[in-house]
Structures are given as C-alpha cells and as structure tokens.
Chains A and B, each alone.
Chain A
Amino acid sequence: MDRVNTQSLTKSTGATLPGIDPDRQIDVVSRLRERLPAEAVLYRPEDTRPYECDGLSAYRELPLAVVLPANEEEVAFVLRTCHEMMVPVIARGAGTGLSGGALPAPDSVLLSLAKMNRILAVDPVARIARVQPGVRNAAISDAAKPYGLYYAPDPSSQIACTIGGNVAENSGGVHCLKYGLTVHNVLRVRGYTMAGDLIEFGSEALDSPGYDLLACVIGSEGMLAVVTEVTVKLIPLPETAKVILASFDDVRKASDAVAAIIAEGIIPAGLEMMDQPATRAVEDFVHAGYDLDAAAILLCESDGTPEEVEDEIVRMEAVLRREGATNLRVSRDESERIRFWAGRKAAFPAVGRISPDYYCMDGTIPRKRLGEVLLFIAEMERKYGLRCPNVFHAGDGNLHPLILFDANDPDQLHRTEAFAAEVLQKCIEVGGTITGEHGVGVEKLNQMCLQFSSEELERFHGVKRAFDPQGLLNPLKNIPTLHRCAEFGRMHVHNGQLPHPELPRF
C-alpha cells in the first residue's frame, strides 16, 4: 500500500496554503490510502486545484483531498472513513453546476464520481437504462438511440454534465414542459448515506413503499446521499419534429402568444423566448437566421408522428398569427430545425463573447407576470447601468436574464449582485421562485431567507438531519442557517405578498 509521503505533504501545503491544516490533511489522506490506490487520492494543490470550483467560478476553496473511487465499495469506504473522522464530503460530477453545489467546504474531502462512468444496462423492452453516476447525460440518449429510445431531460450542458449531477440538481432543459424534469424521468437511485450505508430510493417498478424519498433526494444538491447508480426512464424517439420561429414587435405580445398556445390545449415539445439583445448576441455568433428586427422571438417545437406534428404546427401558426406575430418560419427539414435551435442553445456562450463576464439568473415566475417582470428588469438595467439580455424557457416560466459585467471592476461586480438580488426578490413577489433549475448552492442562500419562513427553513434542516444527522455531506449549501438569515436581515416575502401589501414600495 502506498503511504503518504509526510514530508512532501507538509512541504506542499503547510507554507502555501494557510487554510489547510497539514496534520489533519496527512491523517485523512493516510486513512483514505489504506484502501484506495494512491492515484485515486489527490492532495497536492496542483492536483486539487481543478476541483476548487464548479461552473460558478466566483467561489473557490481547495479541499483537503480529492478522491476518485472506482466502485461502490470504495465510495462506501470513503464515506465511512470521513464519517468516522468527521470530515465533510462533497460529491462532484462534471462540475458544470451553476450555483456552487460542488464547491468544496473548508477542510473537506471532494468525492469525484468521474471514474464511475459506465452504462451498466439498456433494456429496450422495459425502456430503462441503468447507469453509473459519472455517465454524461447525452451519452445515455446515444446508447438508447439504436433502440429508438432516448432520455428526455436535456439541460443545455448535456454533452458534459453527468446524470449524478442531474439527480443532485433536478436538472431541466428545453423540453421539460412536455417531458418533465429529472424527477419525472428517474425511477431509481442507488447510493450511500453519509454514514456509508447502502440505500435505494425508488425502484424499477413505478412506485415504492413508504415516503417518496426519491423525490426528496432528487434536487437535494448532494446533501442527502451520494449517488452510485441511477435507473432512468427511456421514451420512444418522436418520429419527427418541427419548430416554428416566430417574430414579435413587442415582448408582451410574445408572452401573450405563449399563454394562448397553451390555452388552445397544446403542450409544445419546446417553447422558448429570446429578447432582441439576446438574439443579436447569438446571431453574430452562430448565424441561426434569427429576425434581428424583432423585439422578441419565440421557438415553438412540435414532435410526434408526422400527422400529429403537421396538425399541431398548423394550429400553433394560427394562434401565433392571431396574437400578432410579424413573421413566421417553419423549419423545412431537420438541418434547419437544428439551426433554429442552435441559436438558443448557444445563448450563454454567445453572451460570453460580447461581455467579459455574465451572471445568469434562474428565477421562475407564473407566466402571466412575464411582462411585468421584464419591465422590472429593464428598469434595473437603467438603475445599475448594466445590460441584461433575456432568454426564457417560456413554456414553464423559467427566466434566464444574463447580466453583463466585468469582474475586474469591483464596482460592476457589486452592482451585478445587487441587480440580481432585486430580480430574485421580484420573482418571489410575483409568486415564483428564486431558482427553477440551477439550484441554490452557495449562490442564492440569502434569497432563501426571503422565500421561506424560519419554520419552513427549520423543516428543511430537519430533512437534512433525517438523512445525515452529523451534517457532513455537502454542508452549508442549499438551506441557510437561521443565523445567516438574521444577519442578512431582510423580510421573508410570503407567497408573493410582502408584509403590508397596501403600502407602496420602491
């Protein structure tokens, strides 16, 4: 067994990394190396540096060690060891998360599931795939494709993000109005508690006895259990799909058109909106063929049998015309459909090209309040002197305003944070939520104090205690302590109503 070279460990950490206690690090690494190969336990800063942050790179922290278990036995060993030594553990997939869910805690062990990346089984008759947590989202659909099946949730990071991370964040995508989120498409999660005990949530049947712990674990931001295997539902690939690209000269009209489509009894496979600043950024980048004169564009997708799609496209076109669309284009073939979508899917990188940095928000609102919220965002642009293009999962009310700023200018960073906080508070006020799909992580802890009362937060902490009494698994994420909320010192906005709603507020 490879032992830790104590001398080099001390040398490499002690002097340069005041945050890490070298003795503690030696103890933890030595214990972990009793059962894990040396190359699966990293501790030198040059090796652990890539794990210091996830997609939310404004927050960074080096862990004591990074472990890369290759199988369930090793995961169980790591958890039991850390549980015994009271070391916090942070599970990590591809690190594409946008809210700091995989940010290491101080003096923690970062548990990467990247090596557990095998597709264990695809059963085309039962329409399920059994996969390890490190399997990429898109790889599941690739493996199912020969059978005419696919895995529906398609977060925009799907070529990189893993199913384990999708489970942790309850990831969505552009098709979830019709096909649901991760929670609707995962049948079973197998994993370990922080104490190192094996547990299964859900099953390959459609339900399980007892409480719905599966629903509780999905979206729990890696705080309740470490996922080691997932059974996902596969669904038949639609025979065909078409998308309508509709232009509007007014954002409100576009938003009314969305409501009108749904009121017509249509559930489109995808229903996305982009405002003019967003389409202009994208068009320069990918040349999707968007109408640059439009104040907003809608992408309305229909999928199914050729007859079904034909029927639905005709009905949607009629609604869009009636609602004042200034221009309508229906994709003529698959390559044009992909091109129409390419712009939407490239929205974040496109915006990244026109600004040194951008800050992506993720509030969800009741759709009927969209006009009001967009006006509010425009007002905030003026107030803080920052631009903010909008892309929007219009079908399910999930907004992604992107505040453009330069992180090298501390004042801009500060204004960005204040801008985002006001928008999130607005989302709560109109009866929505601070996060639709990106998670709370470390990023939106303060806003949780606005969305929930202290009793509600206390029940969330109770859920955490029920799974992890010592509070060692991904600590201090997702749910703020009551102490933090008191320091934050802002009012809890209850279900869209501020205390004393009769008073004007500015």
Chain B
Amino acid sequence: MGLTLPVYLDNAATTRVDPRVVEAMLPCFTEIYGNPGSRNHSFGWDAEAAVNAARAQAAQLIGAQPKEIIFTSGATEGNNLALKGAAEMYAKKPAGETSRGHIITAQHEHKAVLDPAKRLQKMGFDVTFLEPPADGVITAEAVKGAMREDTILVSIMWANNEIGSINEVPKIGAVCHDRNVIFHTDATQWVGKMPTDVNRDNIDLLTWSGHKIYGPKGVGAMYLRRRKPRVRVVAQIEGGGQERGYRSQTLNVPGVVGFGKACELCSLEMDSERDRLLALRTKLEKSLSASIDHVQVNGHAEKRLPNIMNMSFGFVEGEGLMMAIKDVAVSSGSACTSASLEPSYVLKSLGVGDDLAHSSLRISLGRFTTEAEIDFAIEKITWAVHHLRTLSPLWDMHNEGIDINSINWQSH
C-alpha cells in the first residue's frame, strides 16, 4: 500500500473530517438552509428536522435523551458553560461575596477548564486543584478526600489530552451523587472512542467536541442531566433563547448535522476501531522502546486511551525531534516556541522533570491511521533520536558517566 506524506499522527489535536460527514453536511449549505427557529415555513421545519436528527444521534452516543443535548461551538464553550453556569446556579452566596461554594478540579485539566475555574476563584468561589499522581489518574478517593461541606461542583476530565490517562469517572460520579454535588466531565478525548453511558457513569454535565471525532470544527455539545437529579446551569451566551435558553444563537445547522453524523459513525464503529488503534499503538510503543534506549512512556501504562502515546526520549529535545521527523506530524511537550520556555504543565504536574518534558512527543492515532504509517513513524523517529543524540552534549555527558542533574546549569 502506498504511503502519502506527510503522515498525520496528531489526532488528539484535531481529526480529518470523515467524508461521510462532509456528505451529510453539504445539503445544509444550499438546500436545508433555513433557520431552525423559523416556525412558519418549510425551510425552518426542514432545518429543525435536521437538527433534531443530529440531536438524537449525539444523545445516542452517550446514552442520553435528545432533550438533554445542548449544542455549543465546541468543548471550550461547553466547559465554560458547565463550570461558570453550574457555579452561578448552585452558588451558596450571591455575587460580590466570598465563600460562595467549593469546586474541585485537577491540575492537569485542559486550559478550557482551568481558566474558567481560575475565573470562578476571582468571583468568590474556592477551587481545589488536585495534584495528579505520577500515572496521571485522578481517583475517586482523591476526589472524596477533597470534598467539603460546601462543595458544589466537581469537574474532572474523562481522559487527558496529552497523555491519554483515564480518570475514575464513574466512581467519581458516584462520590458526587452520594453528596448531591454536581459532576461535570470534559470528555473531549473520550467520547466517540470509548463507550459512554451518562446514567451508568453517574454524569451530570458532559462536554465534547465535533472536531476530535472526525466531525467539523466549531461545533460541540453539552449533556445536561434532566432527571435524578434535574441539573441546571445559568446561560453564558444570551439572546434569542435557542437551546431552551441555555445557549442562544442561531444554530450552526451544517455543523450540527455534521456533528450528529460524526457521533453516529462513532457509535457504529467504536468497538472495532478501539481494538485496531490499540494494536497499532502497542506496535508503535513496543518498537520504539526496543530500538531506542532511555525512553519512558508518560502516563498510566494501561489506564489510557488506545490512541494516545506520550513518550520522552532522553537527551533529545522535542522540538528539534519534530523537525527531524518532518514527514510525521506529531506534538511535543516542549513549548520552546512560547515566550516562557516552560514545558508542558500536564507533564510537570505528574512530576516528569522539565528536561524529560522537553524531550517528549505526543503521538495520537486516528480512524485514518494505517499500519504502513505507523511503520514509517517508527523508522523515522528511531533514526531521528539516534541522529540527534550524536549532536547532543547531554548524551555525551551521560556516556562519560556525568550525572546531568549534578551540574550547576546557568538558566537563561
């Protein structure tokens, strides 16, 4: 089978839209172009029918009712709505006061959760940012231990976007429900890849995005539990009262229809896809570990999404490594391009040293990844690491028996 270069192995960043999704979306630009809010003509009715079908597809993927789905512009907006909207709804004291309620989240959450949580701190809420253990897995015990009398909301992502580690979501949900605390999970990396049932898994609010599941960018959804208990949030975008008042704006009909189709395809293909991706990732991980010494996999060995691998290659800098494997598109925990020179805060929170964080690559597989592409990536990365080590003063020092941590480095 022919190989088309460059190879895309950055599916945790975003995915290629499935051609079947594109096909479903196309009529929404030129035929079904009505406003679903227009109640008095067929253009509006057709658009509404298309949106309702998508709502059912989205609900089915997570075991919810269609009425529990609120379309958003993506997971960032969904997370903002879930955190700020729930905090405002369940606040123990009015705006302007302190001690308005306690919120639990974790240090290695996505910025789309961390930044709203920090905003809520400024607005008078107390927030606990749990420190993850070395394997990155937030346990129900850890959440339970952080609970207070005044805890109103827990927000723990289902699977981490940089390392793929899976938190104890169903158990965390149970801990929350025992105490009548609202439980939100940012499931952006999880939903569509792993089986999800909001009732079985004890979830009140769940957010995800279209573009991580082979759908279009700019569209996502939030699940909002309607029964046992009925959960409510305060709208963050106000206007025409769409989405039952929770999220105003004329619906992005092509996006919503594409999102629905993407959800449906995931429902149908998830099981076989999960096995396929796990086999490919295992091959990748085993081959790299066998052909290169001084590597480590970051995050939990087993409790991890099948499509994400985060590996540190000692004595080699991640960004230089990405440049050396220019026909393979991946990500690195080295943030050499940012002004701060700070490497990944996720890896840092796990206690991975800054040097190994700078040496890390995140490789994420997807629906269109082939075995030939994985073989190519293994060959390229192996070559690049060995090549860059011949350039690395740290590698020389290591081979001369000098402990790199013993050197008094002059940071710049």
Partners in one complex: no
Enumerate chain B interface residues (CB-CB to A < 8 A). none
Enumerate chain A interface residues (CB-CB to B < 8 A). none
